[in-house]
Structure 1
Amino acid sequence: MDSLTQIVLGAAVGEAVLGHKIGNKALLYGAIAGTIPDLDVAANYFTDKITATEIHRGFSHSIFFSILMAPALGWLTSKLERKQHLLWKPWAWLFFWGLFTHPLLDAFTTWGTQLFWPLDTRIAINSIFVIDPLYTLPFLCCVMVVLFKKKGSLSRKKTNWLGIYLSTGYLLLTVILKYITYQKFEAALQEQQIAYTRILTRPSAFNTILWNANVETEDAYLLGEYSFFDTRPITFTRFKKQRNASEEIRQEKNVQRLIYIAQGWYLMEQIEGVWFFYDLRFGLMPINETEEVFVFAYELTQRDGEFTAKENRKTPESAQFLLNKLWGRLKGN
């Protein structure tokens, strides 16, 4: 999830663990704990794009990392906060839950997390977008109210837990909505007599009303969308795999790494002699009235005998157009 959401979650967890003893400092250190796992993005400044992508939501988002770091951070904080007269164990408990709930929440997103690192398994439930106002804003309001309530008061405790219950309840609701929309996509495929090997469903940006689906068939990928306000049948846009054209470059080590990152959901095409790799898990994004691009697209360049990847960045203008288009589409077709 986005940084603000993780800060809010971490703060609420910190309050639940130690708020009755140290007041607002529990919110502060919980927020810090909730931020730490995402420091793995620093890899973008020290290594290549493919390696940085592999690192993101890996080790720092694992149970192992939480168990390893919590005692060290607890001990350090106990030295910095001697006036609180707490031993390292209560601090360690705060940091463990702050660190652990971060990847637990991220596991519900499309990117997922390697929660059980070093096992090479990424958990991705695909039920919530990385930024969802309905999850974050009520939670944030509760945490802000907690800031101004008396330490250890019943009202403070109830308000904090209200935020936790609301956010958790919404998160569980997204799983139910995912199940319902999965059934809708599956029924549409059966009605249209489309044979497929697997389906990937996920909510569109910033909401859980409009859902997207990737469908893999023998020779193509189908992309479809469904809003709970739709009145017309689901339709699918077809993209041929065309694997023969990219057979040679697909054998390259770094391209194989990208394929693995994308969990096999990918397309490749050559434009004016340059190869592009598209990660289909995040679907398409409209950039104007007539053109759509894949959200995650990588330009491949050969250097010193191997291919490197450069992510194609989006512009603020395309993001604004996306929001306008999204608002119109989620209201139904």
Structure 2
Amino acid sequence: MDSLTQIVLGAAVGEAVLGKKVGNKAMLYGAIAGTIPDLDTIVGKFLDPLTAIEIHRGISHSIVFSIAMAPLLGWLVSQIHRKVNATWKDWSWLFFWALITHPLLDAHTTWGTQLFWPFDLRLAYQNIFVIDPLYTLPFLIFLILAMRLPKTSPKRRKWNRLGLIVSSVYMLLTLVLKGISYQKFTAALEEQNIEYTAIDTRPAAFNTILWYANIDVGDAYLLGDYSFFDTKPIEFRFVPKDHQFLGDYKDTETIKRLEAIAQNWYTISRKYGNLYFNDLRFGVYDLDAKNLSFVFSYELIPAKTGLTIKESERDPEAMKQVLRSLWERMWGN
């Protein structure tokens, strides 16, 4: 999830664990802990682009990391606040829960997390977008109401508890909506007599009303969208995989690593003589556009060692049009 959401979640967890003893300090350190796992993006800036992608939401988003870091951070803060009515164990408990809830939340997004690192398993339930105002804003409001009250106030704990409950209920609701949208897509495929080997669904940006689906039909994918306000049947767009464009690059280490990252949901495209690896899990900017533009696309650059990659740049002006199209599509076809 986005940084603000993780800060809010971390602060609320910190308050739930230790707020009664240390007041707003619990929120402060919970918020700090909630951002620590995403420091892997800073580490990635010192690595090659492919490795940076691979480590994102890796070890720093694991149970191992939370268990190892919590007592260290707990000891450090206990030394800073020796006069506060909280022990090293108290602070360690706060850091553990603030750290572990970060990847637990991220697991609900499309990118997912390697919660069980070092095992090569990435959890990605794909039931919420990385930025969802309906999840974050009510949560933030309850947190602000809580932090304005004295640490011993029962209302403070009530507001914080409500924030945790409301956000959790909304998360459960997104799972229900994902299940309903999945049934809509599979029913449409059956009605249109389309045979497929796999289907992958996820919410559109900033909402859980509009949902997208990728369907594997062999040498191509079908891409579709469904809004809960739709009145017309679901239509699918045919997109060839074009993996043959890779030629001799197909068995290179770079392609194998990209395939693992994309979980084999990808297409290859050619533009101005250049090859691009398009990660299909994050879909396209506008499904109705004449020429599809993929959210995550990497240029494949020949090098002496095989291939290097460069992430395609995004056009800010084009993004504005995409957001307008998204808003219109969300309210039905």
Secondary structure, in 3 states, of the residue corresponding to 1:5?
A: helix
Secondary structure, in 3 states, of the residue corresponding to 1:246?
A: helix
Q: Which is further off, 250-259 or 170-179?
A: 250-259
Distance 1:105-1:145 versus aligned 2 partners, 3 A rule: same
Q: Which residue of 1 aligns with 2:217?
A: 217
Q: Which residue of 1 aligns with 2:184?
A: 184
Give the partner amino acid of 1:126: Q
Contact persistence 2:285–2:322 (CA under 8 A)? yes
Q: CA deviation at 1:287?
A: 10
Q: Which residue of 2 aligns with 1:174?
A: 174
Q: TM-score, normalised by structure 1?
A: 0.97
Q: Distance in 2 between matches of 1:176 and 1:260?
A: 28
Q: Distance in 1 between matches of 2:175 and 2:287?
A: 29
Q: Which residue of 1 aligns with 2:97?
A: 97
Contact persistence 1:41–1:56 (CA under 8 A)? yes
Q: CA deviation at 1:291?
A: 4.3
Post-superposition Cα deviations, 1:279-321, rounded to whole Å, max 9, x if no partner, equal: 0000000399654300000011122232111111213222221
Secondary structure, in 3 states, of the residue corresponding to 2:119?
A: coil
Q: CA deviation at 1:251?
A: 1.0
Contact persistence 1:297–1:312 (CA under 8 A)? yes
Q: TM-score, normalised by structure 2?
A: 0.97
1:268 aligns with 2:296: no
Secondary structure, in 3 states, of the residue corresponding to 1:194?
A: coil
Q: Which residue of 1 aligns with 2:57?
A: 57
Q: Which residue of 1 aligns with 2:230?
A: 230
Q: Which is further off, 77-86 or 48-57?
A: 77-86
Post-superposition Cα deviations, 1:44-77, rounded to whole Å, max 9, x if no partner, equal: 3111111000000000000110001000000011
After superposition, the CA RMSD in angstroms is 1.3
Q: Which residue of 1 aligns with 2:293?
A: 293
Q: Which residue of 2 aligns with 1:140?
A: 140
Structure 2, unpaired ranges of 5+ = none
Structure 1, unpaired ranges of 5+ = none
Contact persistence 1:287–1:319 (CA under 8 A)? no
Q: Which residue of 2 aligns with 1:283?
A: 283
List structure 1 segments (4+ residues) > 6 angstroms apart after TM superposition: none
Q: Distance in 2 between matches of 1:105 and 1:311?
A: 26
Paired residues, number: 333
- Identical-residue share of aligned pairs (%): 58
Contact persistence 1:287–1:321 (CA under 8 A)? no
Q: CA deviation at 1:147?
A: 1.4
Q: Distance in 1 between matches of 2:291 and 2:217?
A: 24
- Residues 24-103 of structure 1 aligned to structure 2 (within 5 Å): 24-103=24-103
Secondary structure, in 3 states, of the residue corresponding to 2:123?
A: coil
Q: Distance in 2 between matches of 1:69 and 1:50?
A: 26
Q: Distance in 2 between matches of 1:102 and 1:210?
A: 25
Q: CA deviation at 1:273?
A: 2.5
Q: Which is further off, 171-180 or 238-247?
A: 238-247
Q: Distance in 2 between matches of 1:85 and 1:133?
A: 36
Distance 1:330-1:288 versus aligned 2 partners, 3 A rule: closer
Contact persistence 1:7–1:31 (CA under 8 A)? yes
